[in-house]
Homo-oligomer: A and B are copies of this chain.
Amino acid sequence: MKIESRKQEIITTAAKLFKEKGYSAVTMRDIAKVMGIKAASLYNHITSKQDILKDIIISLAETFTDKMAAIRNAELSNVEKLKQIIQLHVDITAGNTFGMAALNNDWMHLEDELNYYLELRSNYEKNFRAIIEEGIASEEFSQGNVEVMLFSMLSTLRSLYIWIPKKEDVSPQQLSKDLASVLINGINI
């Protein structure tokens, strides 16, 4: 269906603009202008501005939730699980920095799906926390403030959308490796 691909073009364009200025500051006329058409023409393909935001955010959030569940249930050491989480973030973000910006900055503008999104995020964080706790229990990780560990790693991974576009020369593979090194071993000698 051609309508699908045109719709996708609109969503991609919108995500790019949302990253620059945020959902609220982007008008339908802005999106249309970038695409070289009039705002009213957008409605041949999408149903509303809100619908664009939902399409960008929910699919990403569901992907994270699904992959996290797979990692959590895998037969792996907790160190290995952590490395897979890092790779998950790097891979998804490298493939869609614009969408990740919206996920991080514009989720509060979701209307119907806000609670659903919050559930997904809460579920994700719970699994992340559990992996850290299990890693401490198995003496893979040091005893320390679990919340600070979680917060620090999650902040870094969630900020990748800012950083990756500035370092296009770095491969996702190398970045994952370096990130794992810093997040797990710190920076001391």
Contacts and interface: CB of A to CB of B under 8 A. Distances in A.
A148 B179 contact: yes
A112 interface: no
A139 B189 CA distance: 7
A109 interface: yes
- Could you tell me the dominant secondary structure of chain A's interface residues? helix
A189 B141 contact: yes
A155 to B, nearest CB: 4
A153 to B, nearest CB: 8
B185 A142 contact: yes
Contacts of A162: 155
Interface in A130-189: 132, 135, 139-142, 144-145, 147-149, 151-153, 155-156, 158-159, 162-163, 167, 175, 178-179, 181-189
Interface string A21-34: 11111000000000
Contacts of A155: 155-156, 158-159, 162-163
The 9 closest A-B pairs by CB, nearest first: A186-B186, A155-B159, A24-B24, A24-B25, A145-B178, A185-B186, A148-B178, A155-B156, A152-B156
Interface of A: 20-25, 105, 108-109, 132, 135, 139-142, 144-145, 147-149, 151-153, 155-156, 158-159, 162-163, 167, 175, 178-179, 181-189
9 contacts: A21-B109, A22-B25, A140-B188, A141-B188, A142-B188, A144-B182, A145-B178, A148-B178, A152-B152
